[in-house]
C-alpha cells in the first residue's frame, strides 16, 4: 500500500540540475538506503518527496495517489515522515513541545497523542528525562533522537531520514541505528535512509540506490552492494 | 411661513444694528446675492485647497461642504452673472509640497477666478507669493496667524486670535479674575498666544502664569492643571485642538472652579464629550457661532439659512455622550464665496483686480452673511473686525448643551495689532486701534 | 534574437536621448499650455524628488541599508539653504554646497552611532532620528523659524540675483542627469561593486578583503550628500523650508517611486518618480479619495509589477543581457600574469599549531597542525561533519580560536577576516556565494578590490586615475574569464549562468584577488566533466605559478589526480596525511569514510 | 513625584504595549513589522463609537461585532500585505505593502468619519481616587486587559499547539511544513488574531484616549517604538517597551515640559538601539 514511487523526477536548483530524471521505488515495509557522494541528489530527493521542492518534470506517487502537486503540509497526513538533515529541532522549545509539534496533524485526538508520546519515551528513555529541557541544550545524539521521535509523532507510514549519523560520536551512531532497526523490525515501519556511511547503511537496509549527479547509478540488494567495489569508488574515487 | 419669519427677524435685527448696514440693499438676508449682470460665461470656477485626507481631513471636508451648499443655492438662483459656480478641490493633506503645487496650479490657471486655501498658516505663507504674482484673488478661512495687510490679493475670513483673546481677557477682568494660565499644545498658535498673554495681560490687570505645554501623547492634563492651580490660577486658556478637551477633563478631576476659555475651536463637540459637566461655564470666542443657541429666532438670518442648508445636506456630528451637535460645514468658509459673489456682482466682472477692489470696499451686514458676521474687509483685508468677535459661554440643562452670548468689555489702552481695527464695547463707543509712539493701543475714536 | 536585442537597445538609447531632449525643451512646451508655471512647478518638484529617490536607491537598493530618514535629510538640506541665505545672506551656490555637506555629515553621524544595529533596528534608528530632527527644527526658534518655517528662499542667480523658473528648471534637470551619472559611476566602480557585494553576502565580501563598516559609512555619506542636495534644491524651488518636508508621510512618493521604478536599478528611481508624479497629477481631482486611490494603485502595482518597471524589463527576454561571442583569436590575445610575487618555491605560507575550536561541548576542531606551502595543491578530505569547514573558518579568522595558533607568512595571523584576506588568503565558500544580480565581469572585478588605488571621488567623477585603473582591471578580469572559458558570458548576471560556470566564476573571482593562498571548499560539486577539466587545468596552472591551493573536496577522484599532499580529518583530528596513493590505501581512512564493515553484531 | 504622573504613564504605556503586542503577533511568523497595524486600533474605536455610542448597543453585542469585523480586517490585511511581499522578493517590499495598506484603511475610515473622534461612554463611569490620583476605571480596565492579553499571548505561544507552531514557523518554515504545520494558515491566523487583539485595545481605550480616523499611523509608530525598545518578537519586550516609553514620556514631560516627553522617548529609542542593538528582550534579527 504505502508504495512510494518517484518517476523521472527532474529538479533544477540554482541553475544546476539537482535531480536529472530520477526514478526510485520503496515498497511497504522495506528498508531502503539512498547513497552517493555529496551533491548526488540525495537530500533533494527527500525534499521533493516531502513537498519542499517542486519538480520541473516527473511525478511522485504515494500509496497509489499522485502527490506531485500536493502541498507539503498535507503530505504529512498521508503518512510521510521526514527527519531533515541537521536535525532541525526547535531549540527554543522544550523536548515535550518539539514532540507535540510533531503530532500537529493529530492535534484533535488528545488520547492518541499522549499514547504516542508515551511510546516515544519508551523507545527513547533519555528523552523522558529531558522532557522539560530546552531542545537547544541537548547533545547531538539526543537531538537526533528527538528529531526522529518528533517525526514519528505523526505516525508516518514511511520515515525518511537524512544523514542521521552526521556529527554524532561513533557510539551514538550505533545506538541510533539500533533504534532504527528496532523500529523497522518491530513496527514494520517503511524506512528510506540517506546516509553518508555507506557500509553501515548497507548493513541495515535490504535494498539500496547509489546516486550520482541526480540519477540512479547502481541499484541492488544491500548484501550484493556491500561487497561491490563500485560503491567505494562512488565515494573515494577509482583506485590508481 | 418660515420665510416670513426670517424677513421679520431680519428687519428687527437690521433695525438694531442699522448703523452698520450699508448699501447692499438688493441683497436680502438669508438669500443669495442678487445678480443682475451677464458675465457671458456658463461656468465660473473657484478653487479650494485643503487637507481632504489624513489627520486634518475634517478641516477640508467641512470647508468643502459649506462652500458646496452656498454654491448650490447661488447656482439655483442663476449663478454669478449667469455663470454657475464650480468648485475645484485639491487635497493638500499635511504635505507642504502638495499644497504648494495646488496653489501654483490655481494661481496659473486663468479659468479659476478665486481660490480658498491652503489652510495652514505656514503653507499659505508659502503659497501667497504665487497668488500675488499672478494677481489671483484668494480668501483664507484657516490662516489665523498672518497679517493680511501685506497681501494685495489675499483676504481673510477668520477671527484673528488676538481679537478673540482681547475680548475674553476683558471678560475675565470684569469677572474679577486676577491670575490665569495657559494649557496648550506645542505649535505656532501656542507660541503666538503665549507671547500675546505675556505682553497684554497687564493691560487687563491680570497676571499671566505661563504656558503648560501639552502633547498629543497624553490623555490627561491633571498634572498641568494642578501646577496652575498651585500657582493660584483662576482661569485657564485651553487648546483649540480636540486634545484640549483633556483639560476640561482635568478640571473635573481636580474640581477646578475657575473659568476655562478658548478660541473658536471649542465648537468641536469633543470638548463637551470629554469635559462633561465641567465644560459648563467655559468661554469660547468665535466669529458668531449661534448653532448651540436654542432660540433659533435670535440666529442671524443669513447664518440660519446657510447652516440649515448645511445640516439638510451634510447633517450634523453628534457626540454620543453629550448629545451635543455641530454642523458638518464651516460657515466662515462660505463667507469667502459669498463675498466673492457680491464683489463680482458689484464689479460686474470676474477680473481679479476689479473684484479685489470691490471686495476691499465691501460692507455686508451681519444679517446677510453665511457666517452671521459683518464682512467689512477694508485696507487690512480682514473680513471681520475685532467687534465681529463674540464670546459665548457653554451651559447644559435637561435638554442638552447650549450657549449664551457674553459681551466683551474692551479696555481702553489695551494693545492691538493693526491700525484702524475696531473693538466693540458694550458700554460705550467702539475703540479704534491707534499708534501711540511705537506701540499700538485701542483708543476711543475721538482721541 | 541577438539582432532584435540590439535593435531594442538602439531604440532604448534613442528613446532616452529623445526623452532628455524633450525634457530640456519642456519649458518651451509648457509655455504653450494654459498654465505654464504650474506644469513647470510639478515637473521641477518631480526632478527634486527623483534626485532624492536616487539617493534612497543608493542607500537602500545598492547599500541594503533601510533608511526612514531621507525625508529628514531633505528637510535639513532645505534648512541649510534657507538659514544660510536668509539669515546669513550667503550666496545661493555656496548654500547649496553646504546643503550637501550638512546631508553628508548628518548621515555619517547617524551611521557611526548605529553601526552595530542591523537591518530592521537600523531602520528604526533612522526613523527615530528623523523624528528628532523634525522636533529640533520646530524648537529652533528664530534660527529655524520654528513651526512656521523659513519663507522667501530664492534660486541662486548667475548674472542676476535669481534665476528664472525656466532657467532653474534647466539647472535642476542638469543636476538630475549629473546625479544619475554619479549613481551610475558609483555603481559600476569598484566601490559600487563592493557595496553590492556587501549587501548580497557580507561573508564573501569580507573574504575578498572588504571592510563592512568603512563601506557602510561611505555609502551612507554619499546618499546623505545627495539627499541634502535634493532638499536644498527643493527649498529653492518651493521658496521655503518647513519642518513638514521631513515628515515620513510626505515622503511616501520616494518609496513608492523607488519600488514602482525598480529598486537596485539605475533608471528605476527616475522612471518610478515619473510614474508616481503622473499618477498624482491625474488623480489630483479625486480630493477625499486621493489617498485611497493612491494606496490601491500602489498595491496593484506591487502585485502586477513586483520588481518595478525597470526590474521587470531586466528580467524579461529583452532586458536581460546576452551572450557576447568572442572568437578564439580574441581570447588568445589576452595577456595574463598570475604568478605569485615575493614567494619562493616550497615556502611555508600558512601554518597552524594545535589549533582547536570547541562549540560548547563539541570539539569541532581538536588540535590540528597543518602547513600550506607555495606551489602546492593541498587536499583536505574527511567525512561530513568531520570539521574541515570549521578548520578553514579558524584559519581565515571567521571563528576565534579556542586554543592553538595560526601564522601567516611567519607572523601571527590578525583577528579580522578581512585583514587576513588582505595578507593574501582568499577563501571560496562551500555554498556558492556569487553576487547573483551582478554581471559575471563585475563579480570578477569585485575580487580586484585590493588593487583599486582610487578614491570614491575618483570613481564618482571618473578621473583619469580611475579610468586607467579601471581599464587595467577590466582587461585583467577578461583575461581571467578567458582562462576559465567564461568570456562569452561576461555580461550575463551571475545568477543566470549554469551551476558549473558559477563554481568556476567563484574560483576566478578568488584568483582575481591575487592570493598567495587560495582555499577552495568543494569547488567540484555538481560540475560536468568538461567543467571539471577546466577547473583542474586552472588549479594546476595556479600551483605552477607559485600559489598554495587548498582543496577541500568530496569528489575524491578529482582530488586524487590533482593534489600533491592530502590531509584526512575525522572528528576534528588529523588521522592521516600523505600522497593521494598513501591515503587511499589507509584502512583508517576507509573506515572513516564508509563506516566499519563489522557492525552487524553490534547492531543486533 | 506626583503619583498621577506615574499612573498616566502606566496607562498610556499599556496602550502602546497592546499595540506592540499585536505587532509581535504578526511579526512572529512573518518577520514583518506591519505599518498598518494601528489601523486595527482605529477600527476597534470606530466600531465602539458606532455601535455603543450611536446605536446604543449593549457592550457584549458590540464586542461580538468587533471581533467579527476585526477578523475580516485581519484577513484582508494579510492578503494586502503578504501577496505583494511574496511576489516581490525584495527584502524591503514589506515597507511599501504595509504602508499602502495603512493608507487605504486610513482613507476608508476618513470617508464616513472625517469629523469624528471616536469617543463614547466609559463602561464604568466611576473614577478611582488612589492617594490623590484620579484614575478612570476605564483606564484600569485597559491596563488589566493589557496584562491579561500579554500573559494570554505569552502562554498561548508557550502552552498551546498553535502558539508553538507560530514559534516553529518563525524558527524554520521548511521544518514546520514537514511536520504537517500549514504555515500559510498560521500566518493568516497571526494576522487575524493580531488584528482582533489591537481592535479590542482600541475598543476599550477609545473612551479614554482620543482616537481619530487618521490616528492609525501615530499609534503604529508608538507601538513600533515600544516593540523595538523591548526587542522585536518578544511579548515580554512589547510590554516592557510600552510601559517604559509611556512612563518616560509622562515623567519627563511633567518635569521638563511638553515637547521633551516625545523627544525623550525617541531619544531613548535611539540610545537603546545604539547600546543594545537588539532591544532589551530581543534576539538577533536576521533580514528576510
Radius of gyration of chain B (CA): 21
CB contact under 8 A, D177 and A90: no
Give me the pLDDT at residue C450, please.
66
Sign of CA dihedral C335, C338, C343, C344: negative
Residues from chain A contacting residue C526 (CB–CB below 8 Å): 16, 18, 39, 213
CB B71 within 8 A of CB B62: no
pLDDT digits (tens, 9 = 90+) for D66-99: 999 999 999 999 999 999 888 887 788 888 899 9
CB C222 within 8 A of CB C58: yes
Please tell me if residue C278 touches chain A, with a CB cutoff of 8 Å. no
Helix, strand counts (H, E) of chain C: 26, 12
Backbone dihedral region of A85: left (phi > 0), alpha (psi from -120 to 50 degrees) or beta? beta
For C305-314, letters b (16+ CB in 10 Å) and e give: bbbbbbbebb
Q: Lowest mean pLDDT: which of C78-82, D179-183, D196-200?
A: D179-183
Reading the block at residue A135, the C-alpha cell is 531542545
Do the domains at B31-159+330-387 and B161-286 have one common CATH topology?
Answer: yes
Which residues contact residue D279 at a Cβ distance below 8 angstroms, ignoring those fewer than 6 apart? Answer: C121, D228, D229, D230, D231, D232, D234, D237, D241, D272, D273
Q: By C-alpha distance, which of A147, A190, A191, A151 is closest to A172?
A: A147
As a whole-number percent, the residues of chain A with pLDDT over 90 amount to: 38
Q: Lowest mean pLDDT: which of B116-130, B171-185, C583-597, D35-49?
A: C583-597
For B317-351, letters b (16+ CB in 10 Å) and e give: bbbbbbebbbbbbbbbbbbbbbbbbbbbbbbbbbe
Residues from chain C contacting residue A232 (CB–CB below 8 Å): 590, 594
B274 vs C90, residue with greater confidence: C90
* Domain coordinates in residue numbering, chain B: 31-159+330-387, 161-286, 408-447
CB D207 within 8 A of CB D123: yes
* Distance (Å) from the alpha carbon of D214 to chain A's nearest alpha carbon: 39
Low-confidence ranges of chain C (pLDDT < 70): 1-5, 317-320, 322, 361, 432, 450-452, 526, 593-604
Residues from chain B contacting residue D115 (CB–CB below 8 Å): 58, 61-62, 317, 326, 328
Residue C191 CA to residue C197 CA, distance in Å, equals 10
Radius of gyration of chain C (CA): 29
Give me the pLDDT at residue B12, please.
40
CB C219 within 8 A of CB C459: no
Please tell me if residue C500 touches chain A, with a CB cutoff of 8 Å. yes
- Average pLDDT, whole number, for chain D? 87
Which residues contact residue B131 at a Cβ distance below 8 angstroms, ignoring those fewer than 6 apart? Answer: B103, B107, B115, B137, B138, B151, B153, B154
Neighbour count for residue A53 (Cβ, 10 Å): 21
As a whole-number percent, the residues of chain D with pLDDT over 90 amount to: 46
What distance lies between CA B356 and its chain's CA centroid?
Answer: 21
Residues from chain D contacting residue A151 (CB–CB below 8 Å): 178-179
Asked whether the predicted pLDDT for residue B15 surpasses 50, the reply is no
Cα distance between the two ends of chain D: 45
Q: Lowest mean pLDDT: which of A144-148, B105-109, B366-370, C591-595?
A: C591-595
Residue C477 CA to residue C482 CA, distance in Å, equals 9
- The pTM score is 0.85
Give me the pLDDT at residue B194, please.
92
Which residues contact residue D274 at a Cβ distance below 8 angstroms, ignoring those fewer than 6 apart? Answer: C113, C114, C116, C117, C125
- Average pLDDT, whole number, for chain B? 83
Backbone dihedral region of C76: left (phi > 0), alpha (psi from -120 to 50 degrees) or beta? alpha
**Which residue in chain D is spatially nearest to A156 when comparing CA positions?**
D179
Q: By C-alpha distance, which of A72, A35, A70 is closest to A154?
A: A72
As a whole-number percent, the residues of chain C with pLDDT over 90 amount to: 32
Could you tell me the pLDDT band of residue D45, with boundaries at 50, 70 and 90?
very high
Give me the pLDDT at residue A235, please.
66
Tallying the residues shown for chain D, one arrives at: 288
Asked whether the predicted pLDDT for residue B86 surpasses 80, the reply is yes
Asked whether the predicted pLDDT for residue B21 surpasses 60, the reply is no
CB C394 within 8 A of CB C406: yes
Give me the pLDDT at residue C596, please.
60
Most confident of B28-32, B221-225, C9-13, D213-217: D213-217
Which residues contact residue C25 at a Cβ distance below 8 angstroms, ignoring those fewer than 6 apart? Answer: none
pLDDT digits (tens, 9 = 90+) for A26-49: 999 999 999 887 778 888 999 999
Give me the pLDDT at residue C195, please.
84
CB B195 within 8 A of CB B225: no
Backbone angles phi, psi at D66, to 5 degrees: -55, -50
For C529-554, letters b (16+ CB in 10 Å) and e give: eebbebbeebbeebbeebbbbbbbbb
If you average pLDDT over residues D118-131, what whole number do you get?
Answer: 77
**Which residue in chain C is spatially nearest to D105 when comparing CA positions?**
C292
- Average pLDDT, whole number, for chain A? 86
* Domain coordinates in residue numbering, chain D: 18-214
Q: Lowest mean pLDDT: which of A172-186, B257-271, C164-178?
A: B257-271
Comparing CB atoms, the residue among C66, C252, C306 nearest residue D88 is C306
Q: Lowest mean pLDDT: which of B246-260, B375-389, C273-287, D127-141?
A: D127-141
Asked whether the predicted pLDDT for residue B447 surpasses 60, the reply is no
> Helix, strand, or coil here: C355?
strand
Task: Give the strand pairing for B390-397 and B283-286.
Answer: antiparallel
CB contact under 8 A, D100 and C298: yes
Locus of grid cell 505663507:
B125
Neighbour count for residue B48 (Cβ, 10 Å): 28
For C587-603, letters b (16+ CB in 10 Å) and e give: eebbbbbbbbeebeeee
Please tell me the CATH code under which domain C348-438+509-603 is placed.
Answer: 3.40.50.300
Tallying the residues shown for chain A, one arrives at: 240
- Size of the A and D interface in Cβ pairs below 8 Å: 63
pLDDT digits (tens, 9 = 90+) for B287-342: 888 898 888 888 888 999 999 999 999 999 888 888 888 999 999 999 999 999 99
Pick the CATH number of B31-159+330-387 from 3.40.50.300, 3.40.640.10, 3.90.1150.10, 3.40.50.2300: 3.40.50.2300
Q: Lowest mean pLDDT: which of B341-350, C557-566, D146-155?
A: C557-566
Backbone dihedral region of B19: left (phi > 0), alpha (psi from -120 to 50 degrees) or beta? alpha
Could you tell me the pLDDT band of residue B25, with boundaries at 50, 70 and 90?
very low
A14 vs A201, residue with greater confidence: A201
* Domain coordinates in residue numbering, chain C: 1-32, 40-249, 251-319, 348-438+509-603
Give me the pLDDT at residue C589, please.
76
CB B391 within 8 A of CB B284: yes
Residue D250 CA to residue D10 CA, distance in Å, equals 9
pLDDT digits (tens, 9 = 90+) for C235-269: 999 999 999 999 887 888 898 899 889 888 899 99
Q: By C-alpha distance, which of C403, C48, C494, C446 is closest to C215?
A: C446
Q: Lowest mean pLDDT: which of A92-96, A116-120, B111-115, C338-342?
A: C338-342
Residues from chain C contacting residue B122 (CB–CB below 8 Å): 147-149, 151, 240, 242, 244
CB A67 within 8 A of CB D142: no
CB contact under 8 A, C116 and D110: no
As a whole-number percent, the residues of chain B with pLDDT over 90 amount to: 37
Q: By C-alpha distance, which of C8, C560, C582 is closest to C320?
A: C8
CB B394 within 8 A of CB B280: yes
CB contact under 8 A, D180 and A100: no
Locus of grid cell 528648471:
C169
Locus of grid cell 513496527:
A187
Which residues contact residue C389 at a Cβ distance below 8 angstroms, ignoring those fewer than 6 apart? Answer: C430, C521, C552
Could you tell me the pLDDT band of residue B82, with boundaries at 50, 70 and 90?
very high
Residue B307 CA to residue B223 CA, distance in Å, equals 39
Give me the pLDDT at residue A141, please.
82
Q: Could you tell me which residues of chain C have a Cβ less than 8 Å from any Cβ in chain B?
A: 34-38, 41-42, 45, 138-139, 146-149, 151, 234, 238-240, 242, 244-245, 247, 249-250, 280, 284-288, 290-292
Please tell me if residue B216 touches chain C, with a CB cutoff of 8 Å. no
Give me the pLDDT at residue B28, please.
64
Give me the pLDDT at residue C42, please.
94
Q: What is the 3-state secondary structure (H, E, C) of C538-589?
A: HHHHHHHCCCEEEEECCCHHHHHHHCCEEEEEECCEEEEEECHHHHHHCHHH
Reading the block at residue D121, the C-alpha cell is 461612554
Residues from chain A contacting residue C360 (CB–CB below 8 Å): none
For B168-193, letters b (16+ CB in 10 Å) and e give: bbbbbbeeebebbbbbbbbbbbbbbb
Which residues numbered 111-130 in D keep a CB inside 8 Å of some CB on B? 114-117, 119-121, 127
Query: In CATH terms, is domain B161-286 a member of 3.40.50.2300?
Result: yes
Amino acid at each position: 500500500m504505502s508504495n512510494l514511487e518517484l518517476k523521472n523526477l527532474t529538479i533544477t536548483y540554482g541553475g544546476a540540475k539537482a535531480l536529472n530524471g530520477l526514478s526510485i521505488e520503496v515498497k511497504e515495509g522495506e528498508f531502503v538506503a539512498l547513497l552517493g557522494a555529496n551533491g548526488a541528489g540525495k537530500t533533494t530527493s527527500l525534499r521533493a518527496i516531502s513537498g519542499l521542492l517542486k519538480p520541473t518534470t516527473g511525478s511522485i506517487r504515494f500509496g497509489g495517489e499522485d502527490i506531485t502537486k500536493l502541498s507539503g503540509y498535507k503530505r504529512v497526513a498521508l503518512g510521510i515522515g521526514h527527519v531533515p538533515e541537521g536535525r532541525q529541532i526547535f531549540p527554543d522549545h522544550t523536548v515535550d513541545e518539539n514532540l507535540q509539534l510533531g503530532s500537529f496533524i493529530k492535534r484533535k485526538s488528545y488520547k492518541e497523542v499522549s499514547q504516542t508520546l508515551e511510546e516515544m519515551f519508551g523507545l527513547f528513555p533519555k528523552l523522558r528525562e529531558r522532557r522539560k529541557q530546552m531542545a537547544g541544550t541537548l547533545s547531538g545524539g539526543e537531538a537526533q533522537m528527538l528529531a526522529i521521535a518528533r517525526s514519528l509523532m505523526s505516525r508516518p507510514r514511511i520515515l525518511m531520514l537524512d544523514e542521521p549519523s552526521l556529527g554524532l560520536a561513533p557510539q551514538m551512531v550505533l545506538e541510533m541505528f539500533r533504534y532504527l532497526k528496532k523500529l523497522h523490525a518491530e513496527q514494520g515501519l517503511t524506512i528510506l535512509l540517506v546516509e553518508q556511511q555507506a557500509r553501515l547503511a548497507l548493513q541495515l537496509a535490504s535494498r539500496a540506490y547509489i546516486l550520482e549527479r541526480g540519477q540512479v547509478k547502481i541499484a541492488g540488494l544491500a548484501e550484493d552492494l556491500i561487497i561491490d567495489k563500485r560503491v567505494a569508488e562512488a565515494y573515494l574515487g577509482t583506485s590508481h | 411661513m418660515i420665510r416670513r419669519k426670517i424677513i421679520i427677524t431680519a428687519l428687527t435685527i437690521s433695525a438694531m444694528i442699522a448703523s452698520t448696514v450699508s448699501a447692499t440693499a438688493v441683497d436680502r438676508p438669508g438669500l443669495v446675492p442678487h445678480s443682475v449682470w451677464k458675465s457671458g460665461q456658463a461656468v465660473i470656477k473657484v478653487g479650494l485647497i485643503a487637507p481632504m485626507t489624513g489627520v486634518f481631513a475634517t478641516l477640508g471636508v467641512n470647508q468643502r461642504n459649506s462652500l458646496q451648499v452656498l454654491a448650490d443655492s447661488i447656482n439655483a438662483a442663476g449663478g454669478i452673472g449667469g455663470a454657475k459656480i464650480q468648485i475645484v478641490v485639491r487635497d493638500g493633506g499635511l504635505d507642504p509640497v502638495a499644497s504648494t503645487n495646488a496653489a501654483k496650479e490655481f494661481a496659473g490657471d486663468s479659468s479659476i477666478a478665486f481660490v480658498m486655501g491652503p489652510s495652514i498658516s505656514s503653507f499659505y505663507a508659502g503659497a501667497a507669493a504665487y497668488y500675488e504674482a499672478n494677481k489671483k484673488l484668494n480668501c483664507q478661512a484657516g490662516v489665523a496667524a498672518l497679517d493680511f495687510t501685506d497681501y494685495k490679493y489675499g483676504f481673510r475670513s477668520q477671527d484673528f486670535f488676538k481679537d478673540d483673546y482681547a475680548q475674553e481677557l476683558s471678560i475675565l477682568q470684569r469677572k474679577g479674575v486676577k491670575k490665569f494660565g495657559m494649557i496648550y499644545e506645542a505649535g505656532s498658535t501656542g507660541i503666538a498666544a503665549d507671547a500675546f498673554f505675556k505682553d497684554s495681560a497687564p493691560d487687563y490687570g491680570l497676571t499671566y502664569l505661563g504656558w503648560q505645554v501639552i502633547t498629543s501623547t497624553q490623555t490627561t492634563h491633571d498634572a498641568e492643571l494642578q501646577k496652575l492651580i498651585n500657582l493660584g490660577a483662576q482661569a485657564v486658556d485651553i487648546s483649540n485642538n480636540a486634545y484640549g478637551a483633556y483639560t476640561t477633563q482635568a478640571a473635573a478631576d481636580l474640581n477646578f472652579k475657575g473659568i476655562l476659555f478658548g478660541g473658536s475651536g471649542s465648537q468641536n463637540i469633543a470638548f463637551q464629550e470629554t469635559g462633561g459637566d465641567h465644560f459648563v461655564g467655559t468661554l469660547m470666542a468665535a466669529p458668531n457661532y449661534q448653532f448651540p443657541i436654542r432660540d433659533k429666532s435670535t440666529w442671524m438670518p443669513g447664518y440660519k439659512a446657510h447652516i440649515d442648508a448645511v445640516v439638510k445636506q451634510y447633517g450634523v456630528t453628534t457626540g454620543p455622550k453629550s448629545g451635543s451637535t455641530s454642523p458638518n460645514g464651516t460657515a466662515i468658509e462660505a463667507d469667502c464665496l459669498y463675498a466673492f459673489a457680491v464683489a463680482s456682482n458689484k464689479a460686474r466682472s470676474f477680473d481679479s483686480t476689479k473684484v479685489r477692489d470691490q471686495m476691499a470696499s465691501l460692507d455686508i451686514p451681519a444679517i446677510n452673511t453665511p457666517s452671521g458676521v459683518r464682512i467689512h474687509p477694508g485696507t487690512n483685508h480682514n473680513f471681520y473686525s475685532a467687534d465681529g468677535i463674540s464670546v459665548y459661554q457653554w451651559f447644559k440643562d435637561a435638554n442638552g448643551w447650549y450657549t449664551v452670548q457674553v459681551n466683551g468689555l474692551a479696555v481702553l489702552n489695551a494693545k492691538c495689532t493693526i491700525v484702524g481695527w475696531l473693538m466693540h464695547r458694550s458700554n460705550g463707543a467702539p475703540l479704534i486701534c491707534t499708534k501711540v509712539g511705537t506701540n499700538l493701543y485701542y483708543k476711543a475714536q475721538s482721541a | 534574437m541577438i539582432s532584435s536585442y540590439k535593435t531594442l537597445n538602439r531604440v532604448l538609447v534613442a528613446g532616452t536621448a529623445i526623452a532628455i531632449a524633450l525634457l530640456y525643451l519642456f519649458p518651451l512646451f509648457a509655455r504653450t499650455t494654459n498654465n505654464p508655471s504650474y506644469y513647470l512647478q510639478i515637473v521641477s518638484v518631480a526632478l527634486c524628488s527623483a534626485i532624492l529617490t536616487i539617493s534612497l536607491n543608493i542607500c537602500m537598493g545598492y547599500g541594503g541599508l533601510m533608511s526612514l530618514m531621507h525625508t529628514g535629510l531633505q528637510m535639513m538640506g532645505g534648512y541649510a539653504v534657507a538659514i544660510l541665505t536668509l539669515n546669513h545672506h550667503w550666496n545661493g551656490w555656496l548654500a547649496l554646497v553646504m546643503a550637501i555637506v550638512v546631508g553628508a555629515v548628518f548621515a555619517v553621524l547617524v551611521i557611526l552611532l548605529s553601526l552595530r544595529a542591523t537591518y530592521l533596528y537600523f531602520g528604526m534608528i533612522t526613523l527615530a532620528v528623523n523624528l528628532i530632527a523634525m522636533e529640533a527644527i520646530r524648537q529652533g526658534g528664530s534660527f529655524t523659524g520654528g513651526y512656521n518655517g523659513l519663507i522667501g528662499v530664492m534660486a541662486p542667480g548667475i548674472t542676476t540675483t535669481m534665476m528664472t523658473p525656466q532657467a532653474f528648471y534647466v539647472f535642476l534637470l542638469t543636476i538630475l542627469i549629473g546625479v544619475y551619472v554619479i549613481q551610475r559611476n558609483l555603481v559600476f566602480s569598484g566601490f559600487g561593486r563592493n557595496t553590492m557585494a556587501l549587501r548580497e553576502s557580507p561573508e564573501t565580501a569580507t573574504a575578498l578583503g572588504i571592510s563592512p563598516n568603512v563601506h557602510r559609512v561611505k555609502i551612507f555619506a554619499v546618499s546623505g550628500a545627495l539627499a541634502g542636495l535634493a532638499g536644498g534644491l527643493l527649498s529653492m524651488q518651493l521658496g521655503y523650508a518647513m519642518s513638514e518636508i521631513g515628515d515620513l508621510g510626505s515622503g511616501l512618493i520616494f518609496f513608492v517611486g523607488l519600488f514602482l521604478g525598480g529598486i537596485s536599478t539605475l533608471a528605476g528611481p527616475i522612471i518610478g518618480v515619473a510614474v508616481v508624479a503622473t499618477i498624482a497629477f491625474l488623480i489630483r481631482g479625486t480630493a477625499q479619495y486621493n489617498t485611497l486611490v493612491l494606496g490601491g494603485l500602489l498595491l496593484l502595482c506591487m502585485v502586477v509589477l513586483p520588481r518595478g518597471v525597470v526590474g521587470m524589463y531586466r528580467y524579461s527576454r529583452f532586458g536581460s543581457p546576452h551572450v557576447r561571442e568572442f572568437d578564439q583569436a580574441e581570447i588568445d590575445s589576452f595577456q595574463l600574469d598570475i604568478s605569485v610575487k615575493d614567494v619562493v618555491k616550497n615556502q611555508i605560507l600558512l601554518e597552524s599549531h594545535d589549533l582547536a575550536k570547541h562549540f560548547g561541548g563539541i570539539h569541532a576542531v581538536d588540535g590540528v597542525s597543518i602547513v600550506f606551502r607555495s606551489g602546492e595543491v593541498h587536499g583536505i578530505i574527511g567525512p561530513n561533519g568531520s570539521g574541515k569547514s570549521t578548520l578553514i573558518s579558524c584559519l581565515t579568522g571567521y571563528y576565534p580560536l579556542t586554543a592553538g595558533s595560526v601564522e601567516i607568512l611567519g607572523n601571527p595571523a590578525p583577528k579580522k577576516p578581512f585583514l587576513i584576506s588582505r595578507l593574501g588568503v582568499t577563501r571560496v565558500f562551500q555554498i556558492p556565494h556569487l553576487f547573483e544580480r551582478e554581471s559575471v565581469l563585475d563579480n570578477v572585478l569585485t575580487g580586484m578590490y585590493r588593487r583599486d588605488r582610487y578614491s570614491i571621488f575618483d570613481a564618482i567623477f571618473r578621473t583619469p586615475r580611475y579610468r586607467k585603473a579601471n581599464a587595467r582591471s577590466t582587461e585583467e578580469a577578461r583575461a581571467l574569464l578567458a582562462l576559465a572559458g567564461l568570456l562569452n558570458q561576461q555580461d550575463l548576471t551571475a545568477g543566470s549562468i549554469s551551476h558549473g560556470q558559477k563554481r568556476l566564476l567563484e574560483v576566478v573571482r578568488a584568483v582575481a584577488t591575487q592570493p598567495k593562498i587560495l582555499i577552495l571548499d568543494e569547488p567540484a560539486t555538481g560540475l560536468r566533466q568538461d567543467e571539471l577539466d577546466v577547473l583542474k587545468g586552472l588549479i594546476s596552472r595556479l600551483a605552477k605559478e607559485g600559489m598554495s591551493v587548498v582543496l577541500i573536496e568530496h569528489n575524491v577522484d578529482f582530488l586524487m589526480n590533482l593534489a600533491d599532499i592530502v590531509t584526512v580529518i575525522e572528528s576534528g583530528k588529523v588521522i592521516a596525511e600523505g600522497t593521494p596513493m598513501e591515503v587511499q590505501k589507509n584502512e583508517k581512512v576507509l573506515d572513516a569514510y564508509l563506516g566499519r564493515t563489522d557492525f552487524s553484531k553490534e547492531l543486533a | 513625584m506626583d503619583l498621577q504622573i506615574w499612573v498616566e504613564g502606566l496607562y498610556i504605556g499599556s496602550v502602546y504595549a497592546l499595540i506592540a503586542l499585536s505587532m509581535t503577533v504578526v511579526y512572529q511568523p512573518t518577520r514583518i513589522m506591519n505599518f498598518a497595524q494601528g489601523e486595527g486600533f482605529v477600527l476597534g474605536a470606530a466600531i465602539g463609537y458606532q455601535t455603543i455610542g450611536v446605536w446604543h448597543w449593549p457592550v457584549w453585542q458590540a464586542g461580538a461585532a468587533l471581533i467579527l469585523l476585526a477578523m475580516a480586517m485581519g484577513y484582508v490585511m494579510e492578503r494586502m500585505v503578504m501577496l505583494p511581499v511574496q511576489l516581490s522578493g525584495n527584502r524591503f517590499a514589506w515597507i511599501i505593502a504595509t504602508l499602502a495598506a495603512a493608507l487605504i484603511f486610513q482613507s476608508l475610515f476618513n470617508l464616513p468619519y472625517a469629523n469624528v473622534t471616536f469617543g463614547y461612554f466609559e463602561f464604568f463611569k466611576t473614577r478611582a481616587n488612589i492617594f490623590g490620583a484620579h484614575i478612570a476605571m476605564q483606564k484600569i480596565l485597559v491596563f488589566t486587559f493589557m496584562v491579561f492579553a500579554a500573559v494570554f499571548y505569552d502562554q498561548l505561544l508557550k502552552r498551546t499547539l498553535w502558539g508553538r507552531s507560530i514559534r516553529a514557523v518563525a524558527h524554520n518554515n521548511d521544518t514546520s511544513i514537514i511536520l504537517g504545520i500549514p504555515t500559510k494558515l498560521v500566518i493568516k491566523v497571526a494576522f487575524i488574531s493580531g488584528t482582533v487583539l489591537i481592535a479590542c485595545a482600541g475598543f476599550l481605550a477609545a473612551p479614554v484616549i482620543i482616537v481619530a480616523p487618521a490616528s492609525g499611523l501615530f499609534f503604529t509608530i508608538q507601538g513600533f517604538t515600544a516593540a523595538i525598545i523591548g526587542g522585536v518578537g518578544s511579548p515580554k519586550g512589547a510590554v516592557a517597551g510600552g510601559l517604559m516609553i509611556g512612563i518616560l514620556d509622562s515623567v519627563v514631560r511633567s518635569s521638563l515640559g511638553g515637547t521633551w516627553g516625545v523627544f525623550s522617548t525617541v531619544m531613548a529609542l535611539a540610545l537603546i538601539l545604539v547600546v543594545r542593538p537588539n532591544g532589551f528582550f530581543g534576539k538577533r534579527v536576521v533580514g528576510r
